[in-house]
Each structure stands twice: as C-alpha cells, then as structure tokens.
C-alpha cells in the first residue's frame, strides 16, 4: 500500500475481492487526502469475513475523512446463499454493522455520493449527523426491523439538498410497501430539487411523491429484485420475497401527483390484470411529458394466457415524439 502515497493523481480505490489485514489497508486509504472515493464491489466481502473490533477502535477515533464518494455494494442474493449453505447471517451481519458504524459517521461532512446496505448501516447514528455535501444517496438490501423504517424516514428528512435518491429494498412479509416520507395526509414533503428518483415497490400514498419535482429528470418506479429473476432462481430463494408490483392505475396515480415538466427518463414496472388495462397509463405518459426521451417498461401479465398486443402498445408509444430510446419487457 506504500505505492499509494507515490500516486498523487490517484483519487479512487475499488476493492473487487476480499483481502487480508483490512484495517491496515483501509487506514492507509483514509490517511491519504488525495483518495476521495472508495468502492467495495459485490466480490469484496471483507466486512463480513473479518472481525472488526480493532478496526472499530482505530478508525472511529480518527479525524473526519476526506472522502467524497463511498459505495458498499452487496451481492443481491447473499442472505439466500447463506441459508442454502446452511449458514446464519447473524455473525457476518454483526461484523459488517460494526465496520460501517466505524466508517460512515467519519465521512458525514465531506461525502457527496453514498451507497450503503439498509440491513447493517447505522441509520439512527446517521440521522443525528449533519450531511452538508450529500447529493447522491443509494440504499440497498432490505429492512431488518420496524425501527429502520422510521430511521430512514428521519434521515431522508434531514438531507433536503439531495439531487439523486435511489431506494431499492427487497420486501418481506405483509408490510410490503412502507412509505419513505410518511403518508400524504400525515406529513409534509421535505426534499426539494431532486434530479433523479428511484424507488422499488413504492407506496402510492407516500409523501415522497408530493415533493417539488419540477426539476426531476429521471423517475423509476421499479422492483427489487427484478421480477423476471423469478424464472431463473430456485423456489427456495423466491419463497421469502413479497412482490407487490404496482398496478397500472397505481402507477398513474403517482404520476398524476407529480409535476415533472422536465422529465426526460421514465421507468415503470407494473402488473396488468387484462389486455388494455394500461392504455390510460401509456396515453398519459406520452401526452404529459414533452421532453421524455427514454422510456423503460416492464409490463407483467396477471393472466398468463393473455396474448400481449405489442403492436397496440407500440402504437400508443408513438405519440411521444421526442422518444429516442425505448426498452420493453412485455412478458410474452
């Protein structure tokens, strides 16, 4: 790691595999002011593989870091892989939680882009801090308990300067669509100025859709994991997930709540009960957003016997004259 000090123009480090002595390696990266971006990919399982006590003491007592970007990306199916291997997640998740609790608070004053897992991030501690530079936030994984839902709501309400927000959380059990900012009837929107918003399995009544969206360029109402994975994954994997895909009417209700005159990119994932059930939605999309240049649709069939009239769908989309790219998953 000594070579890092000899490369003053090196600004980003990407860890793409687990490595030995992670405390020493990470400390070295954090000690160099010219290293402003650190990324851990899905293959870098360091935080779950190594015990963190010494890391917790050594790193958390440091001065604030100079990082402007930090990403910790988890494997999509990691919990399922643990279970299928007859392993529990308690110990690796505890290690990861301690690592992130040591690292994340130290970057609060400087970080502009942050990607972290919901399961093990110190969300309550993050809520108590000031994040003056944070503009891009991505939350992955799933809720572990009810307290996390409230903590995330408080955290989002404390960072009104966000420009890009992505919350792609898997859903389990009956509370499959918890809101991010509370219901539209019970709270006031606190985020303004977003340019990009991505939410998996959103609650149509979420107050997030009452924010000032006049400068929003990209909106994604999606699924996580992708519903089309259902065809390729073992039943033992999918049996744990709730899959509360929106209906066309729910998608339409969300879009009608939002004033998005500058929208140029839109992704919608929905489940159509019958042929033509999404006609009103597609007509609204093509007639309401004059600057729309990219459209991605994942249209699933409730009735697998339905013959998808893709020609009809394509004809509806031709009304959007500024479209430059279209991605269609029509489930036929």
Residue 50 φ/ψ region, left for φ over 0, alpha for ψ in the -120 to 50 degree band, beta for the rest = beta
Q: Which two tokens stand for residue 316?
A: 């509806």
pLDDT of residue 21: 62
- Both 204 and 131 in one domain: the answer is no
111: in domain:
yes
Alpha carbon 317 to chain centroid, angstroms: 28
pLDDT given at position 331:
83
Quick one: pLDDT at residue 328? 94
- Residue 332 pLDDT grade (very low, low, confident, very high; cuts 50, 70, 90): low
Q: Copy the structure tokens of residue 246.
A: 């929106």
Task: Indicate whether 207 and 271 sit together in one domain.
Answer: yes
Q: What residues are paired with 242 via a beta bridge?
A: 171
pLDDT for 234 equals: 58
* Contacting residues for 321 by C-beta, under 8 A, at least 6 apart: none
Find the radius of gyration of the CA atoms of the chain: 21
The answer to whether residues 89 and 186 belong to one domain is no
* Last residue within a domain, chosen from 159, 180, 213: 159
Q: Give the CATH number, domain containing residue 29.
A: 3.80.10
Domain stop point among 103, 124, 159: 159
Is residue 216 over pLDDT 70? yes
Instruction: Looking at the structure, tell me whether residues 139 and 200 fall in a common domain.
Output: no
Tell me, yes or no, whether 164 lies in a domain. no
Q: List, in sequence order, every beta strand (DSSP E) within the chain.
A: 12-15, 37-40, 69-72, 113-117, 136-142, 164-170, 196-200, 218-222, 265-272, 294-301, 325-329
Q: Residue 200: pLDDT band by 50, 70, 90 thresholds?
A: very high
Q: Whose CA is closest to 165, among 118, 197, 127? A: 197
| CA pseudo-torsion sign 77, 79, 81, 83 | negative
> Does residue 60 carry a pLDDT above 70?
no
Res. 82 pLDDT band, cuts 50 70 90: confident
Q: Would you say 300 and 331 are in contact if contact means Cβ atoms under 8 Å apart?
A: yes
Q: How far apart are CA 86 and CA 138, in angstroms?
A: 30
Give a yes or no: residue 71 inside a domain: yes
What is the secondary structure of 112-126 as a DSSP string?
SEEEEETTTS-HHHH
Give the Cα-Cα-Cα angle 301, 306, 308 (nearest 5 degrees): 80
Residues 194 and 104 in one domain: no
Please give the Cα distance from 60 to 64 (Å, whole number). 9
**Is the domain of 152 the same as that of 188?**
no
Residue 134 scores a pLDDT above 60: yes
Backbone angles phi, psi at 167, to 5 degrees: -125, 100
Residue 214 belongs to domain spanning: 171-332
Identify whether residues 88 and 150 lie together within a single domain: yes
* Structure confidence at residue 111 (pLDDT): 96
> In this predicted structure, what is the pLDDT of residue 191?
83
Final residue of a structural domain among 130, 159, 188: 159
**pLDDT for 237 beyond 80:** no
**240 and 116 together in one domain:** no
**Distance of alpha carbon 167 from the chain centroid:** 3
Say yes or no: 136 and 28 in one domain. Answer: yes
Which pLDDT band holds residue 81 (cuts at 50, 70, 90)? confident
Check whether residue 153 and residue 226 sit in a common domain. no
* Global pTM value: 0.91
Percent of the chain with pLDDT over 90: 55
Residue 83 is predicted with a pLDDT of: 76
20 pLDDT exceeds 70? no
Q: What DSSP string runs through 43-88? A: T--HHHHS--HHHHHHHHTSPPP--SEEEEPPPTTHHHHHHHTT--
The pLDDT assigned to 214 comes to: 95
Contact predicate 82/89, CB 8 Å: yes
Closest alpha carbon to 162 in 126, 138, 188, 187: 138
Structure-block tokens of residue 83:
């279970």
Q: Torsions phi, psi of 223, nearest 5?
A: -130, 155
116 lies in the same domain as 214: no
Per-residue pLDDT, averaged over 189-196, amounts to: 85
Examine residue 143 and state whether it is found in any structural domain, yes or no: yes
Q: What is the pLDDT of residue 171?
A: 79
Please compute the mean of the pLDDT values over residues 237-248 and round it to a whole number: 78
pLDDT, residue 183, reads: 78
Q: Is residue 165 a part of any domain in this protein?
A: no
The residue length of the chain stands at 332
Q: Of 255, 244, 246, 243, nearest to 282 (Cα)?
A: 255
> Does the residue 280 lie in any domain?
yes
Q: Which residue(s) pair with 114 in the sheet?
A: 70, 137
Range from 2-16, 25-39, 316-330 carrying the lowest mean pLDDT: 2-16
Same domain, 195 and 146: no
pLDDT at 174: 57
Q: How many domains does the chain have?
A: 2
Task: State residue 186's pLDDT score.
Answer: 65
pLDDT in tens, 243-293: 889 999 999 999 999 999 999 999 999 999 999 999 999 999 999 999 999
């Amino acid at each position: 790691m000594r070579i890092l000090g000899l490369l003053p123009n090196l600004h980003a480090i990407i860890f793409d595999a687990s490595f030995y002595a992670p405390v020493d390696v990470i400390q070295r990266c954090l000690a160099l002011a010219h290293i402003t971006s650190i990324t851990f990919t899905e293959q870098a399982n360091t935080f779950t593989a190594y015990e963190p006590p010494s890391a917790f003491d050594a790193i958390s007592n440091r001065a604030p870091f100079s990082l402007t970007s930090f990403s910790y990306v988890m494997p999509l199916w990691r919990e399922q892989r643990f279970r299928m291997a007859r392993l529990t997640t308690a110990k690796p998740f505890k290690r990861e939680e301690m690592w992130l609790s040591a690292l994340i608070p130290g970057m609060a004053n400087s970080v502009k882009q942050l990607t972290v897992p919901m399961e093990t991030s110190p969300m309550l501690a993050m809520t108590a801090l000031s994040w003056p530079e944070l503009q891009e936030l991505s939350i992955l994984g799933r809720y572990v308990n009810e307290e996390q839902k409230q903590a995330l709501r408080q955290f989002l309400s404390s960072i009104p300067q966000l420009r890009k927000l992505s919350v792609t959380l898997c859903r389990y059990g009956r509370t499959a669509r918890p809101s991010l900012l509370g219901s539209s009837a019970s709270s006031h929107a606190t985020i303004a100025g977003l340019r990009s918003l991505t939410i998996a399995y959103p609650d149509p009544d979420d107050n997030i859709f009452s924010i000032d969206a006049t400068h929003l360029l990209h909106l994604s109402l999606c699924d996580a994991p992708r519903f089309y994975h259902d065809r390729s994954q073992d039943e033992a994997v999918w049996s744990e997930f709730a899959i509360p895909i929106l209906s066309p009417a729910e998608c339409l209700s969300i879009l009608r709540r939002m004033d998005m005159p500058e929208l140029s990119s839109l992704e919608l994932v929905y489940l159509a009960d019958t042929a033509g059930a999404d006609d009103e939605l597609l007509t609204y999309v093509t007639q309401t957003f004059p600057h729309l240049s990219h459209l991605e649709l994942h249209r699933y069939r409730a009735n697998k016997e339905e013959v998808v009239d893709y020609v009809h769908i394509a004809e509806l989309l031709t009304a959007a004259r500024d479209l430059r790219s279209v991605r269609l998953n029509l489930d036929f």
